């Protein structure tokens, strides 16, 4: 049974962390991939052991599909309006994923209901450059891809940008990410709105970019400290709540699953030991939680404490 009192949603209700307001902006919520496609190590006994809280919120055993969300985090500090990850986008060619292909969804209207227009965004921070984290970086205008947020600086790590720069002679193609660099990343660079950053970059003395490699070579997490409040935007370090009790469950989309596991274990331990609020990108309702350790040092395992 989920203990759940306060939710961040896409209708303008935000979470206050000291002077900072955080609001979830939804682009998709519903059935995702078949469980063993997304997580090759997923086994029926896993959801059976956790079904009192995992089903139906996060897993549909009849369809054998995980339930997922794809959302941005809108962060308003005293000085800036910041968007963390920009979801799927509209009118993008994504032939390997029907859920992402040639969409026409009201994400910008949901952003407006949260009190922000594209012109209001000062910074876009992408944890990595997969299709479901950069799609709204651009929009189609007169047959051209242009930055959606005309006044924003888009912050990408150099290591991540280099990984997906398909102009490089050593570029390693991934079918699921075809077209993404050209329609959602390169137009931002060509418009002069991209800033390549390194780990340790800090925004407003509140939000610090930290290495979280494994899912992709330049993946980062964003740590936010506001007074006594402490939160982590984890991107795809963790895709789904099944990876809390079973951290060794890896994603088919991880570039380096060994490194991804160590990054995930380090993050979960950090959250559990320091009472950090975890804000993932893909957890379905209720979307965010704190972390409780229930395992051992030899076999780490965790459970969510849903945000209240």
Average pLDDT for the chain? 94
What is the model's pLDDT at position 308?
A: 61
d(CA 55, CA 35): 13
Going by pLDDT thresholds of 50, 70 and 90, the confidence category of residue 13 is low
d(CA 162, CA 3): 42
Phi first, then psi: what are they for 307, rounded to 5°? -60, 135
d(CA 51, CA 232): 26
What is the model's pLDDT at position 162?
A: 97
d(CA 237, CA 267): 8
What is the model's pLDDT at position 196?
A: 98
Report whether 12 contacts 113 (CB < 8 A). Answer: yes
Query: pLDDT digit string (tens) for 151-163?
Result: 999 999 999 999 9
Report whether 166 contacts 181 (CB < 8 A). Answer: yes
Name the residue among 178, 110, 185 with its Cα closest to residue 147. Answer: 185
Going by pLDDT thresholds of 50, 70 and 90, the confidence category of residue 5 is very low
What is the model's pLDDT at position 117?
A: 98
CATH entry 3.60.15.10 includes domain 15-306: yes
Which of left, alpha, beta for 98 (phi over 0: left; psi -120 to 50: alpha)? alpha
For Cα atoms 204, 205, 206, give the angle at the middle one, nearest 5 degrees.
Answer: 85
Task: Please give the model's pTM, rounded to 2 decimal places.
Answer: 0.94
What is the model's pLDDT at position 182?
A: 98
| One-character DSSP codes across 160-190 | HHHHH-TTSTT----GGGTTHIIIIIHHHHH
């Amino acid at each position: 049974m989920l203990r759940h009192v306060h939710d961040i949603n896409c209708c303008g209700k935000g979470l206050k962390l000291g002077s900072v307001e955080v609001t979830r902006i939804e682009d998709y919520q519903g059935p995702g991939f078949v469980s063993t496609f997304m997580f090759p190590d997923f086994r029926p006994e896993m959801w059976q052991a956790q079904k009192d809280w995992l089903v139906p919120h996060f897993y549909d055993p009849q369809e054998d599909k995980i339930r997922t969300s794809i959302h941005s985090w809108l962060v308003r500090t005293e000085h800036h309006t910041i968007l963390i990850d920009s979801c799927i986008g509209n009118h993008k060619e994504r032939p390997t994923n029907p859920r992402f292909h040639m969409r026409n969804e009201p994400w910008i209207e949901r952003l407006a209901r949260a009190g922000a227009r594209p012109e209001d965004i000062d910074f876009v921070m992408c944890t990595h450059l997969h299709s479901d984290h950069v799609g709204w970086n651009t929009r189609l205008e007169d047959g051209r891809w242009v930055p959606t947020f005309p006044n924003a600086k888009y912050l990408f790590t150099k290591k991540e940008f280099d990984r997906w720069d398909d102009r490089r002679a050593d570029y390693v193609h991934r079918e699921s990410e075809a077209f993404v660099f050209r329609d959602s990343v390169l137009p931002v660079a060509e418009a002069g709105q991209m800033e390549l950053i390194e780990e340790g970059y800090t925004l407003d003395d509140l939000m610090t970019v930290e290495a979280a490699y494994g899912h992709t070579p330049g993946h980062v997490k964003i740590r936010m400290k506001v007074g006594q409040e402490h939160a982590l935007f984890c991107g795809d370090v963790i895709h789904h709540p099944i990876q809390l009790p079973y951290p060794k469950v890896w994603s088919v989309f991880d570039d380096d699953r060994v490194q991804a596991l160590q990054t995930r274990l380090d993050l979960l331990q950090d959250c559990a030991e320091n009472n950090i609020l975890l804000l993932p990108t893909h957890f379905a309702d209720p979307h965010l939680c704190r972390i409780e350790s229930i395992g051992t040092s030899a076999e780490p395992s965790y459970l969510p404490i849903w945000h209240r």
